[in-house]
Structure 1
Amino acid sequence: MADITGDQRVQSEVLEGLATAVNHRQWFVELALPYLGDNPIEIGSGLGDYALAWADHVPHFTATEADPDRLVQLKERLADHTNIDVRQMLLPAPDAAGEYSAAVSYNVLEHIEDHVGALRSMAELVRPGGRVILIVPAFMFAMSHVDIATGHIRRYTKKTMRAAMTEAGLTIEKLHYANALGLIGYYSATSIFKLAPKEGPMIKVYDSLVLPVTKAAESIVRPPFGQSVFVVAKVPG
């Protein structure tokens, strides 16, 4: 697969900005928790924020990163956490032995040209009956200069995600949009005002005021659109 495209500097700035959105991260942490099992692997761990949160809930966790410089930073940050292994990984992985209970990957698949091949590779890492858990950005109309600078090749709908999962031989168990108000805010900020989601007042206001309202509403009613697509798929047994 799969070199991940995009400007590494811009990607780092966006990651650092989103790292301050603690309520947003906690929401997305919670979405994956029921499906991780006892020994999950994360594809594309970035700065390690999700890895640290998930590792508190499982006996063993594997964090991975493709970029060598970011891998060094990831190893340094996670060095004191004895239940977390850190490894470099590019897909397809030649030693994919199906040993993991789940493969979880947030905001990675949209960078990869052969996304169906990437999904198959993730499935090969997972034991039969385990899960592939993804979050990806939603709706091509929201593709902005930030997406392009960070290497996004596509954004998804539920329909296109279902098609990719089906082609990869995976069975979808859960598929829905998440963060409806976030999509409106993202489109306004990036496409209308030409801003980027960096650390600062915009992120703090969104995370402290807007996000809790959105999360509460979406726990009752699934919205017909969102900033992200969340999907859980089962690996054939």
Structure 2
Amino acid sequence: MNPEAYLEMASTESRHWWFAARREILSRIIEGLALPPSARILEAGSGTGGNLMMLSAYGLVSAIEMDEGACAVSRLKTEGRFVIRQGCFPDDVPYEGETFDLIFMADVLEHVERNVETLVALRRMLAPGGRMLITVPAYQWLWSPHDVFLQHTRRYTSKSLRQVLMQAGLRVDRLSYFNALLLPLAILARVKDRMMWGGKSSGTTTPPALVNRTLFSIFRSERRLLGRFNLPAGVSVLAIARAE
């Protein structure tokens, strides 16, 4: 990921509407997984550590992150509470012989060129009955300067994500879009970004407080919808999968 994006993430992920609401949505999803009481959880691609405290409510958390600076920020932010090791997918995954009840990968797979090989490597780290929870950005037609800034390699549909998971030997338990209510706004933002290509992309800074609170409330409200059914469209896709 772009080093500038790590710096921006570190400064905004605690309060930016998208990060904050996504944490609440994914927390609700994890609650529904009924993990064992002393679950071992691995965050694959932990960035600057914004999800680690949320994940720690459900078990013992470890993390892998490619960027050394992001690892350092995470350790400082979380006061050394978690094991955070530097590594790179798919060939340098520094938890040899260890297994996990949940592998959590939030908006990471789109950065990885060798996506199938990465999922194969992570599948081997699942404990018996373990699950993977993965989120990715949706729709290649939403590609914009924001994707370029973040150094994405692709965006996914539910169909293409399913195909990649199956190629990696994973069985898909659940597949849904989310961030559906704000999809029209995202489309407008991407159109604006394309018209202003080369400028600052939408979504990279925290908006004014009132706008931030409003977008947070709209996005967060989907945690109830996702508790009942899958959504047919959205800015992101989530999957729950397990080893075949």
Q: Distance in 1 between matches of 2:66 and 2:156?
A: 23
TM-score between both structures, scaled by the size of structure 1: 0.86
Matches within 5 A, 1:1-237: 6-14=1-9, 16-20=11-15, 21=17, 22-35=20-33, 37=36, 38-58=39-59, 60-79=60-79, 81=81, 84-91=82-89, 92=91, 93=93, 95-193=95-193, 195-197=201-203, 198-201=205-208, 202-208=211-217, 210-236=218-244
Identity of paired residues, percent?
24
The RMSD of aligned alpha carbons is 2.2
Q: Distance in 2 between matches of 1:140 and 1:67?
A: 26
Deviation at 1:101, TM superposition (A): 1.4
Judge conservation of contact 1:33–1:54 (CA < 8 Å) in 2.
no
TM-score between both structures, scaled by the size of structure 2: 0.84
Judge conservation of contact 2:177–2:231 (CA < 8 Å) in 1.
yes
Deviations 1:140-175 (A, max 9, x none): 111110011101111111110110011000111111
Judge conservation of contact 2:177–2:232 (CA < 8 Å) in 1.
yes
One-letter amino acid of the structure 1 residue matched with residue 233 of structure 2: F
The 1:234–1:213 alpha-carbon spacing in structure 2 relative to 1, beyond 3 Å, is closer
The 1:112–1:216 alpha-carbon spacing in structure 2 relative to 1, beyond 3 Å, is same
Q: Distance in 2 between matches of 1:94 and 1:44?
A: 12
Deviation at 1:94, TM superposition (A): 6.0
Deviation at 1:200, TM superposition (A): 2.0
Please, which runs of 5 or more residues in structure 2 have no aligned partner? none
The 1:215–1:29 alpha-carbon spacing in structure 2 relative to 1, beyond 3 Å, is closer
Deviation at 1:189, TM superposition (A): 1.8
Deviation at 1:79, TM superposition (A): 2.5
Secondary structure, counterpart of 2:58 in structure 1: coil
Deviations 1:2-28 (A, max 9, x none): xxxx42203432564343122332112
Deviation at 1:137, TM superposition (A): 0.6
Judge conservation of contact 1:18–1:203 (CA < 8 Å) in 2.
no
One-letter amino acid of the structure 1 residue matched with residue 215 of structure 2: Y
Secondary structure, counterpart of 1:181 in structure 2: coil
